[in-house]
Structure 1
Amino acid sequence: MERRDIEIMDTTLRDGEQTSGVSFSASEKLTLAKLLLDELKVNRIEVASARVSEGELAAVQQITEWASSKGYLERVEVLTFVDKGVSLDWMKKSGAKVQNLLTKGSINHLTHQLKKTPQQHFEEIKNTIALAAEQGIATNVYLEDWSNGMRNSKDYVFQFLDFLSTQPIKRVLLPDTLGVLTHTETFAFVSEIAQAYPKLHLDFHGHNDYDLSVSNVMEAIKAGCHGLHLTVNGMGERAGNAPMASVIAVINDFMPNIKVSVNESSLYKVSKLVSAFTGFGIPANKPIVGENVFTQTAGIHADGDSKKNLYFNDLMPERFGRKRKYALGKTSGKANIQKNLQELGLTLNDDELKKVTARIIELGDKKEKVTKEDLPYIISDVLDSDTFQQKVFVKSYVLTHSKGLKPSTTLALEINGERIEAHAQGDGQYDAFMNALRKVYESKNMELPILVDYAVRIPPGSNSDALCETIITWKSGDTEFISRGLDSDQTVSAIKATEKMLNII
C-alpha cells in the first residue's frame, strides 16, 4: 500500500499561547520556532495572531528573518482577520508570507457575532484573499466553529466550501473550535467534505475538551484530511489542543500507510523546553512525555521485563530519547532493585538483597519516594545494622521547635527491656534530644561517648524529598567509631545514627 504524507502544523506559539497564564518572550518564540522546524521537523508552524502587540510583532520579525535565511519562510504562518487589510499591513511589517484567515464556519457565529449574511461574509473574504495575493501573501482559511457548523448548519458550510473552491487559496482549515466532536462525527464530517471537494487541501484542528482529540485526529486522517494542527504538551485554550507527542506515536504505531516528517526522538526534549519556558508542568502520567510513563513500579513488572520483556509495548522509551526506570517503593520486588543495582554497577548476595528489599518496602510504606541514587545509602544503612545486636530502642520522641522558645525533646528509651523517659531543652532539636538522652544514661550511671563529627549528605542530583544520610563520628576513650542513620528528615536520620551508636557501645 502506498504511504500517504500528512502535513504537521504546530500551533504551540499561537494557539498554545492561549493557555491561561502562558506568554512566550520574543527570544523564547525564536528558540522554539528553530527547534520545531529544524529539530522536531514539523512541516509548518503558526507563530502568532496579527495585530496583538508590538512585542508579538518583534517576535515574528525575528522568526521570519531566521526562517528566510534557512529557506523556511513559506512554513511560517500567522492568524489573521477579515478586517479590510489591517491584519495584512501587520503581516507585511512582520515579514510573514502565509496568512491563516479566520472566518466563520457556522451560521450561528456568522449571524450572532458578525451579524452578516453569507454573501456579505464571502465578499469580504474574497477581497481579503485578493489583497493578500497582491502583496505576495498566500492564504489558508480557518472555518471557525466548523464542527458546530456541520452539526447545525451543514448547508451553510457547503455553500461556503463551494465559494472557497473558486478562490486562490492553499488550504482549508477545519477546527473543532469547542472540542465537541466524537470520533464518529469527525470521520463522517471530514469524509463528506473530502469526497465532495477532492481538490481542496484539508487540515484538521482538534481541541481536547472531552479528551477525544487524539481519537478525532485518527479519524480525520482515515477520512482523508491532508494536515493536522497539534501543540507541544497539548497546550491551548481550556483543555488544550491535540497533543503532538501522542498523535505522532499513534500515527507511527497504528497507521502504517501514513507518513509524517516529525522526528520522534526530539519529542521529549521539545516538551521539556516548552514546559520550562511556560512554567506549565507536564502531568507525571502524560503519555510519551510524562515523568512516570516509562517507570515500572510493581516488582512483578520488573521481573517480567527481565524475562522476555513481558511488560513492554511498542512505546519503547529510547524512541523518544528516554530510558525505562524501575521505581523503588512498597510494591518493589527484588527484580526492581536488581535493575537499579545493575545501573549503578553494584551487586548483592541473596541475603543482602532480601534485607535491602525489606528496608525499601518499609520506607515506601511511610510514603517516602525512594530513588536509584538513594540505593547506596540504603545498602550502607542495612549492612551497617548487621554489625550489632539491637538491645537499645528509641521507642518514641517528641521534637518541638517554636519561635521565641528553646527547642525541646521528650524521649522514651528502652534498654534491655526497661523503659525510661526524659525531657530536655537544647540549642537545636538534635541537641535537645542528646541532652534528654544524657539524662537517661546518667540515671543508669552509664556514660555516653563524645560526638566529634557530624556530617549530612543527600544523593547527588536529588530534590528536597531525598533520603538524607547522617554520619556521626563518636569517641569513647581512645576509640573512634562511626554510625550512620537514614531518613527523609535530617533530625530523624541523626536520631537513627545515635540509636545505632547506643547499640554499638
Structure 2
Amino acid sequence: MTPIEVMDTTLRDGEQTTGVSFSEAEKLAIARLLLDELKVNRIEVASARVSEGEFRSVKRITEWAGKNNCLEKVEILGFVDQNISLDWIQEAGGKVVNLLTKGSLKHVLGQLKKTPEEHMADIQHVVVEAEKRGITVNVYLEDWSNGMLSSRDYVFQMVDFLSQTKVKRIMLPDTLGIFNPDQAFEACQAMTQRYPDVHFDFHAHNDYDFSVANVYMALKTGVKGIHTTVNGLGERAGNAPLASVLGMMNDHLKLSNTLNEAKLTHVSKMVESFSGVRIPANKPLTGEYVFTQCSGVHADGDNKDNLYFNQLLPERFGRVRRYALGKTSGKANILKNLEELGIELAPEDMKKVTQRVIELGDKKESVSTEDLPYIISDVLKNGATKENIKLLNYSLNLVRKMKPVASIRIQINKNIYSETSVGDGQYDAFMKALWIIYDRLGRDHPVLSDYWVSIPPGGKTDALVETIITWEYKNQEFKTRGLDADQTEAAIKATIKMLNIIENDEVKFKD
C-alpha cells in the first residue's frame, strides 16, 4: 500500500496563528525536526513575497535541505502573479511551489474580477514558466469547500483543466472550516471518483472542531495526502493537529505512513516553546494529562489486568503513564506512585496515607509523587506535622523607590519573637527578619536553593499561585510548597512548612 503523504504546514499556515512569528533559527529547527525526526513527507515553509526575513528563513531551510537530499520536500506558497512568485522562490532556492488558485466561482468573480477562462489562462502561464525553471507545481483550490457547495460546475471545470497540465498535486482546502464530516466525505468522494488518477490532498481547518473528523472522512474516500500543523496551530481555530491525525490514521484507518510516533512529543514541545502557544493539558496525545489516570477505580483495574488501557499507549509517543493523586485517588493510585519511589507500606499505613491524599485533594492542593515521602512522614507520626512554629502576624510594606520592609511575629514552641528587616523584595525582607531571629537564638537554618512559581493559565488576577521551594539543610535537599492567591503569601506558607519539618524531624537531618 502506498503510504499516505503528510504535508505539514506549521511554518506557513501555522505561523498565521495570532501572535506567532518564528525566527529564522526557529524555522530551520522546526523544519529539521519535522523532516529528520518525525519523518513527515513534505513541509510548507512560507509564502512568497511576504518579507525579507521570510526570504532569509526560506533560504536557510533550502540550503540545509539541499545538503540533506530533501529539497523536493520543501514547499512554498506562491501566487498567480505572472513570474513574481516564481522569481522569489527560485532566488530563495525552492524547487516546489504550492500555487494558490481560486476554488470557488465567487472568489474568481468577486476577488479577481475575472472570468474562469481568464483565471485558467493566468494559471497556465505560471505552470509553463515553472516547468521551464525546474520548479514542481502543486495547486491549492482556495475556498474549494464553498465551491463544492455553491459552484460545483466551476470546480470540475478547473480540475478538468488542471488535470491536463503538469501540475503534480491538486490540494483541496476547506479554507473557512465550514464542512461537517458528511460534507467532507461527499465532496472528496466526488473528486476521487471523477478523477481517479489525480493526486488529491485534503487541507482541513478547525472552525467547528471537525478538522480531524473531516480528515478521517477524506482519507476514507481515497485522497492521497493530508495537511496538518503541529499542535493544531493556524488561523482562527487552527488546522488539523498532526498528533491527532497520526493517531487516527494508525489506529482507526490502519493507513501506511512514514511518521515516527516516538518523536511526536518532542516535536510538539519544541513548537510549543517556539510559538508561545501552550498545549492544553487535555490535548489528545500531547497534553500533560492525557496519560494520567485520576480515578482510583481505573488504577485498580490497571493493576489487575490493564483494564483501562487503550491502543494509545504512552510509550508509543515518548510518554509514560502516570497516576494522579487527589480527592478521587484510591489505594491503587497511591500504590502506583509508591512503586515509582520504591516504597512499601503496611496495609494500615496505606489507609492513612490514602485518606490524607484525599483530604489534600479536597482542599484543591496539588499532590505530586515528590510529596508522598513527606505525607507518609506526617501520617506515620500521628497524622500531621506538629506546628511547633507558628507565624502569628506579619506585615509587608512596599513603597516606591524604597526597599520593602517586613515585620514578623513568630512563636517557636512557647516563646514569641518579633523582628523587622528590609530586603530586595517583600519575601526577601520576610526571610531576613526570620533569620535574624534564628541567628539570635543560635539556631541553624537551611539555604534556599530553588524557587519555582506556577500560575494556572487564564490570566485572572486572583488565580492561585503555587510556590515550590527547594531547601538544602545539613547535606540534604527537600521541598515544601505553598498555595495562595498571593505569590508572597504562598512562599511564606512554604517557608513555615519548612521550619516545622526541620523542627519535628531534627534527627532525620543530622550529619
TM-score category, normalised to shorter length: 0.7 to 0.9
Alignment of 1:360 with 2:360, yes or no, is no
Q: 2:122 maps to what in 1?
A: 124
Deviates more, 1:14-23 or 1:209-218: 14-23
What is the aligned counterpart of 1:41 among 39, 42, 46?
A: 39
Task: Classify 1:91/1:468 alpha carbon distance in 2 versus 1 (closer, same or farther; 3 Å).
Answer: closer
Going from structure 1 to structure 2, the CA distance change for 1:413 and 1:244 (only over 3 Å counts) comes to: same
Residue 400, structure 1, aligned to residue 400, structure 2: no
2:493 — aligned with what?
Answer: 492
Aligned equivalents of 2:86, 2:198: Cα separation in 1? 24
Give distance in 2, aligned partners of 1:504 and 1:121.
81
Q: Identify which of 7, 10, 19 aligns with 1:9.
A: 7
- Paired residues of 1:265 and 1:319 also in contact (CA < 8 A): yes
1:477 aligned residue: none
Q: Secondary structure at the match of 1:187?
A: helix
**Structure 2 unaligned regions, length at least 5:** 422-428, 455-464, 483-489, 507-511
Query: In the TM superposition, what whole-angstrom CA distance separates every residue of 1:75-119 from its partner, at most 9, and x where no partner exists?
Result: 111100000100000111011111100001011111111111101
Q: Is the 8 A contact 1:396 1:412 kept in 2?
A: yes
Task: Tell me which amino acid in the other structure corresponds to 1:262.
Answer: L
After TM superposition, the structure 1 = structure 2 runs for residues 138-217 of structure 1, keeping only pairs within 5 Å, are 138-217=136-215
Q: Which moved more, 1:10-19 or 1:323-332?
A: 323-332
How far has the Cα of 1:487 moved from its partner?
A: 4.3
Correspondence list, 1:300-319, <5 A: 300-319=297-316
Residues 47-446 of structure 1: matches in 2 within 5 Å? Answer: 47-256=45-254, 258-385=255-382, 397-403=392-398, 407-408=406-407, 426-427=420-421, 429=430
Tell me the CA shift for residue 302 of structure 1.
1.4
Residue type at the aligned position of 1:339: K
The residue type paired with residue 331 of structure 1 is T
Counterpart Cα distance in 2 of 1:154 and 1:504: 78
Q: CA shift at 1:355, angstroms? A: 2.8
- Do the aligned residues in 2 keep the contact of 1:37 with 1:44 (CA within 8 Å)? yes
Shift of 1:426: 3.7
1:277-318 C-alpha deviation (Å, 9 max, x unpaired): 111111111000011111112222211211111111111000
* Contact 1:143-1:173 within 8 A present in 2 as well: yes
Tell me how far apart the structure 2 counterparts of residues 500 and 91 of structure 1 sit (CA, whole Å): 65
Please give the secondary structure, in 2, of the residue aligned with 1:12: coil
1:384 to partner: Cα distance = 4.4
CA contact (8 A) 1:11 1:46 kept: yes
**CA distance 1:490–1:160, shift in 2 (3 Å):** closer
Say if 2:78 and 2:99, in contact at 8 Å, map to a contact too.
yes
Cα shift at 1:127: 0.7
Give distance in 2, aligned partners of 1:19 and 1:115. 29
Q: Distance in 2 between matches of 1:382 and 1:152?
A: 69
Q: Distance in 1 between matches of 2:69 and 2:152?
A: 40
What letter is aligned with 2:155? V
Please state how far the C-alpha of 1:503 moved relative to its aligned partner.
Answer: 8.8
**Closer, same or farther: CA 161–272 of 1 in aligned 2, 3 Å:** same
Does the C-alpha gap of structure 1 residues 85 and 346 become closer, same or farther in structure 2, counting only changes over 3 Å? same
Deviations 1:36-92 (A, max 9, x none): 112111111111111112222222222222222222121111100000100000111
Letter in 1 for 2:398: K
Q: In the alignment, residue 206 of structure 2 is paired with which amino acid?
A: N
Residue identity (%): 52
User: CA 1:485–1:203 in structure 2 vs 1: closer, same or farther (change >3 Å)?
Assistant: closer
State the AA in 2 paired with 1:79. L
- Counterpart for residue 443 of structure 2: 452
Structure label with greater radius of gyration: 1
How many residue pairs match? The answer is: 475
8 Å CA contact retained: 1:451, 1:472: no
1:442 counterpart residue number: none
Shifted more, 265-274 versus 29-38: the winner is 29-38
Q: Once the 2 structures are TM-superposed, how far is the Cα of residue 218 of structure 1 from its aligned partner? A: 0.6
Is the deviation greater in 301-310 or in 213-222?
Answer: 301-310
Is the 1:471–1:497 contact (alpha carbons within 8 Å) kept by the matching residues of 2? no
Q: 1:462 offset after TM fit, Å?
A: 8.9
Alignment root-mean-square deviation, CA: 3.3
- With the length of structure 2 as denominator, give the TM-score of the two structures: 0.84
CA–CA separation in structure 1 for the residues paired with 2:264 and 2:313: 13
Secondary structure of 1:302's aligned partner: helix
Between stretches 163-172 and 464-473, larger displacement belongs to 464-473
Secondary structure in 1 matching 2:445: strand
1:469, CA displacement in angstroms? 7.3
Per the alignment, residue 509 of structure 2 pairs with: none
Contact 2:206-2:240 within 8 A present in 1 as well: yes
Distance across 2 between alignment mates of 1:333 and 1:459: 32
Counterpart AA for 2:326: G
Verify the 8 A CA contact 1:485 1:494 in the aligned structure 2: no
Q: Are 1:27 and 2:33 counterparts?
A: no
Give the secondary structure class of the aligned counterpart of 2:444.
Answer: strand
Query: Post-superposition shift, 1:211?
Result: 0.6
What is the one-letter code of the residue matched to 2:311? D
Report the Cα offset of residue 472 of structure 1. 8.8
Equivalent residue letter for 1:54? E
- Structure 2 counterpart SS, 1:284: coil
Contact 1:373 1:460 in 2 (8 A): no
Give the letter for the 2:492 counterpart: T
